[in-house]
Amino acid sequence: MADTESQSAEEIKLIQKRVIIDGEYEGEEEELEEDEEEDWNDWGEDGDEELDSNFVCLFCDSNYTSCNELFEHCRLAHKFDFQGIRKRLGLDFYGSFKLINYVRSQVAQNGCWSCGVTCQSKEDLQNHLHETANLENVRLLWDDDNYLKPFMQDDMLLHSFSEEEEEEDAEDDYKASFDKDELMRHLGDIGVLNINEVNGGSTSEHHYESFKQNETKEPASSSNGQVVYKSLQPLITNGVLGDAEPTNIVNLSANKIKTVNDNYFGSYSSFGIHREMISDKVRTDSYRQALMKNPSLLTGAVVMDVGCGTGILSLFAAQAGATRVIAVEASEKMAAVATQGNNSKSTGVMEVVKSMVEELDKSIKIEPHSLDVLVSEWMGYCLLYESMLGSVLFARDKWLKPGGAILPDTAIMYAAGFGRSCTSLPFWEDVYGFNMSCVGNELVQDAARIPIVDVVQDSDLVTHASVLQKFDLATMSPDDVDFTATIELEPKSDNAVANLTESKAALCYGIVVWFDTGFTSRFCKEMPALLSTSPYTPKTHWCQTLLTLRDPIAIASMGQQPGDNSAVVGSEKCPVTRLSLRISIARGVEHRSIDISMEASGVDAGGRKRAWPAQIFHLS
């Protein structure tokens, strides 16, 4: 690919948004993607040969044989001056491309592209169309990656609208020439992505994988701008995960219209999530401490921020004296936001690059192994759910100097047993004097399949915490995130939790998992920092992740008298004194999901053993 293409390739690159959805999971997602993919691939192939086709008016059914005629018609008949708008806003190829798709999507709904009024009919709309004074404001509406997806199939206009000018603007750096095949491939991929987003937040992993190798099997993480943390919680709390009834046969063309809107709003939601993350003081303060209080590390440093979001970490780095900060963000919208956020202090230091890390080469020249510091906030729920770690490690291997700093540089996952107070059971036992425990039991059975993300208090724990897995980010390989670990959990020695009567064992209802990430003295020599999401420290937006056992296991300290030999091991009459758990976490076949398996086994005071059947949890 020629150098001039890099700009366009970068612009169309990936789109990563944190989409808040209202808690549904669509069973037909996978099918849809495939249909859609084929659909667009076909389109890409056909598109090339049919350059002499008609150009369909954006607003009415007229056809024209040239772009210019069509635009002249739009200007005169529909008060839509395409070339004028391009000129006034200085729209580049992609900006214009999006404008066309945006206008078509609006017209399909009888909506006015510039003021948003919805008309009763196409005729009403045509009468309604008017000049637009405040173009800059309207621009926000189509400045969305989702409009890179052709709204109308075989829209010849998209192929041709810029051809006339291509030569005259050839020297203009900002407007790049492009390879149509390449473009169509990108667009096809975007089609896939859009569907994902409708269905509950997507990452670009799938897209990236299929784009690279047409193989979705390997679930490597990639440089998604950010992860869809928040989509998880509604999914779980609504409890409809995986149970969604396939009530509808989805109509693809209807789908397309819908997609445009959903994504539009999804993208604003994503902003809300960044806002929430910045407001997470525990998180932001620990990064700030690591970046601002370690002058020997940051002064004069070249820094990369992977998945910069609003760019706050990059701004910290710039303020701390870095000479160059490369802020990489795959979502066009968030990258634009980060660019706006650039202030006087960071000017000339910070550059926002809209790209996936894996394809950064196409957008910007960075010498291999030239970075002093690599910073990223990549962690997902349960550390690994929708995490961007793969992208961070990719950047590490490619650009970080030998011995360069990676922030954070350690991640440790912990597990501990939680008690009844952490479940819904106590509440449903006595509701205004009535016993509704059947409802609570139903909830517990559900939670034995789907991890719950919620806040756990220190006092909810019935065992000590145990380290589940440690990651050293400076040395680990991307595949290390799939692991199996066996841990032993010991009951808390204070019997306050073990219950009122001393002889009574504590019931362990499940395992809570959390993580800490460290900015250790290895790199942060002046002031190490720790970001903890534990039940012992102030809560963060990550909360903790709960894996509920199908049946509770009674657990008691060694010192207590042996249990009743006739009773089942792990029951209250015969508690286990050692509880061991074999926990595996693996990236799911579906991109961005993780699968967790948990097997419990225990030994009672008399040495009798019992193993419980494995439970599988799916986090997606």
Partner 1 sequence: MYPSSGHTNGYHDQQQQQPEQQRFVTTAQRPRVRRGPRGGGGGGVRSRDYGDGFRVSGEDNSQPPSQQAEQQNLAPCTDFDKAYFHSYAHVGIHEEMIKDRVRTDTYRSAILQHQRHIEGKVVMDVGCGTGILAIFCAQAGAKRVYAVDASDIAVQANEVVRANNLSDRIIVLHGRVEDVEIDEEVDVIVSEWMGYMLLYESMLGSVITARDRWLKPGGLILPSHATLYMAPITHPDRYTESIDFWRNVYGIDMSAMLPLAKQCAFEEPSVETINGENVLTWPHVVKYVDCYTLQIYELESVTTRFQFKSMMRAPFHGFAFWFDVEFNGPANVNANAQILLPGSPNPPSLDGVVKKKRTNPSDTLILSTAPEDPPTHWQQTLIYFYEPMEVEQDQVIEGSLTLSQSKENRRFMNIHLEYSSGGRSFVKESVMR
Q: Interaction with partner 1 in 507-546: which residues (CB under 8 A)?
A: 543
| Region of residue 297 (left: phi > 0; alpha: psi -120 to 50; beta: else) | alpha
Q: Which stretches of 393-543 are assigned E, i.e. beta strand?
A: 400-407, 410-418, 452-454, 466-472, 483-489, 506-519, 529-532
x/- binding map, residues 547-586, to partner 1, per CB under 8 A?
----------------------------------------
Contact region for partner 1 (CB under 8 A) — 81-89, 134-142, 375-383, 571-579?
134-142
Catalytic residue among 29, 36, 377, 572: 377
Residue placing its CB nearer to partner 1 in the complex, 249 or 500: 249
Least distance to partner 1 from the beta carbon of 582, Å?
23
Q: Contacts with partner 1 in 287-316 (CB under 8 A)?
A: 288, 310, 312, 315-316
Q: Per CB under 8 A, does 446 bind partner 1?
A: yes
Q: Per CB under 8 A, does 151 bind partner 1?
A: no
Distance CA 143, CA 133 (A): 18
Instruction: Look at the chain and count its residues.
Output: 620
Least distance to partner 1 from the beta carbon of 420, Å?
13
Q: Per CB under 8 A, does 271 bind partner 1?
A: yes
CA separation, residue 356 to residues 8, 9, 238, 270 (Å): 13, 11, 32, 17
Q: Contacts with partner 1 in 40-59 (CB under 8 A)?
A: none
Least distance to partner 1 from the beta carbon of 571, Å?
23
Contact region for partner 1 (CB under 8 A) — 80-88, 176-184, 333-341, 561-569?
333-341
Would you call 164 a catalytic residue per the annotation?
no
Choosing from 65, 66, 118, 503, the residue that interacts with partner 1 (CB under 8 A) is 118
Q: Which of 593, 515, 18 is nearest to 309 (CA)?
A: 18
Q: Per CB under 8 A, does 28 bind partner 1?
A: yes
Local structure of 187: helix, strand or coil:
helix
Distance CA 215, CA 272 (A): 33
Q: Indicate the residue type of 200.
A: G
Would you call 50 a catalytic residue per the annotation?
no
Contact region for partner 1 (CB under 8 A) — 1-9, 88-96, 336-344, 456-464?
336-344
The angle subtended at Cα 129 by Cα 125 and Cα 134, nearest 5°, is 135
Q: Per CB under 8 A, does 435 bind partner 1?
A: yes
Catalytic residue among 11, 36, 197, 386: 386
Local structure of 428: helix, strand or coil:
helix
Choosing from 266, 341, 419, 535, the residue that interacts with partner 1 (CB under 8 A) is 341
Only one residue has tokens 């020695």, namely 493
Going by C-beta distance under 8 Å and a sequence separation of 6 or more, which residues neighbour residue 375? Answer: 287, 290, 291, 303, 304, 305, 306, 313, 317, 406, 407
Q: Per CB under 8 A, does 248 bind partner 1?
A: yes
Pull the structure tokens for residue 518.
């460290």
DSSP 224: -
Least distance to partner 1 from the beta carbon of 105, Å?
8
Q: Per CB under 8 A, does 278 bind partner 1?
A: yes
Q: Per CB under 8 A, does 437 bind partner 1?
A: yes
* DSSP symbols for 234-281: HHHHHT-TTT-----PPPHHHHHHHHHHHHHHHHHHHHHHHHHHHH-H
Choosing from 153, 343, 475, 521, the residue that interacts with partner 1 (CB under 8 A) is 343
Contact region for partner 1 (CB under 8 A) — 86-94, 272-280, 296-304, 463-471?
272-280
x/- binding map, residues 180-219, to partner 1, per CB under 8 A?
------------------xx--------------------
* Catalytic residue annotation: 377, 386
